[in-house]
Each structure stands twice: as C-alpha cells, then as structure tokens.
Amino acid sequence: MKQESEWEPKLLGFLCRWCSYAGADLAGASRKKYPANIRIIKLPCSGRVDPLFILKALRLGFDGVLVSGCHPGDCHYQTGNYHARRRMAITMRFLEYVGVEPQRIQASWVSASEGGKFTEVVTEVTKGLKEISPNQLFADGR
C-alpha cells in the first residue's frame, strides 16, 4: 500500500449528456470535490456505450471504466439506459469470468440534480481501483 499510494489510477468515464454529465457539471458548479482520476467522455446516451469502448479503454491502459446514465425511466430517448443496463450486465459478468477484476468496470445512475451522488460514485470507484493493482491485463511480459 505504501508504494501504491504514489500511484493514481486512471478512470475513464462515459457519461450521458443529459443526466450524468450535467450531474458532473453541477458537482463542479457547486464546488464539490471529486477525485481528478476520472477522465470524462460525453456521449449522447448511456445506450451509446459499446462494450468495445470498455475493452479498448482497458487495452489502452485505463485502470477502470465508469459508465453512467439517467435513472430508469428518465432517459431522454425513452429507452437507451434500459438497453445499456442489459449490455452492461452481460459485459460485467462475462469479463469477470474471463478474469478482469470486477472493480475495473462500474456503472451508475446519476441524474442532473445529483452532483453529490456523482462525487460519491467517483470517489468510491477510485477508492476501489486503488485497492487493486495498476492495470497490467494487456501488458506483454506479465
């Protein structure tokens, strides 16, 4: 843990532009503090997240991926987050079976008014990533 406290995990966030991205914005506007470990990509909808994005992020060396969208029933496009939910469910279960640490892939519902929840989620996910080692999954000489 001593060495690892030096290391800061890189977390890639895929946020839906209607809820979670606005939630992140609100967190900033409200001067709430969340770990700078997250790098955010804004997407139109959590339903836009292809499991390929997640694999590609891990392949590029990100330590974790967070997919966040609107609460069920709140999707701007009515159903995108429901589709995302199924996709994330099978992707997370399958990747754990293949051998990816479950902490690396996370999903959350954060609405545009939940700036506080956004900081909590990012803090918690970052903490989870600090508890496991840096992503060496795709490193060659392991």
Name the one residue in this structure whose structure tokens are 């709140």: 74
How many residues of this chain bind another protein (CB under 8 A)?
A: 37
Report if residue 124 touches another protein, rule: CB under 8 A.
Answer: yes
Q: Segment contacting another protein (CB under 8 A): 12-20, 23-31, 36-44, 48-56? A: 48-56
Does 91 contact another protein by CB under 8 A? yes
Q: Does 109 bind another protein (CB under 8 A)?
A: yes
Q: Is 85 in the site for another protein (CB under 8 A)?
A: yes
Length of the chain: 142
**Cα–Cα distance measured from residue 112 to residue 93, given in angstroms and rounded to the nearest whole number:** 28
Residue 25 C-beta: closest distance to another protein, Å = 19
The 10 Å Cβ neighbour count of residue 129 is 26
E runs forming strands in 2-110: 11-16, 38-43, 64-69, 105-109
Q: How far is the CB of 94 from another protein (least distance, A)?
A: 6
Nearest to 35 by CA among 73, 71, 58, 64: 64
Smallest distance from another protein to CB 36, Å: 19
The continuous run of DSSP H or E covering 69 comes out as: strand 64-69
Which residues in this chain contact another protein in the complex, by CB under 8 A?
Answer: 51-52, 55-56, 59, 72-73, 79, 82-83, 85-101, 106-109, 121, 124-125, 137-138, 142
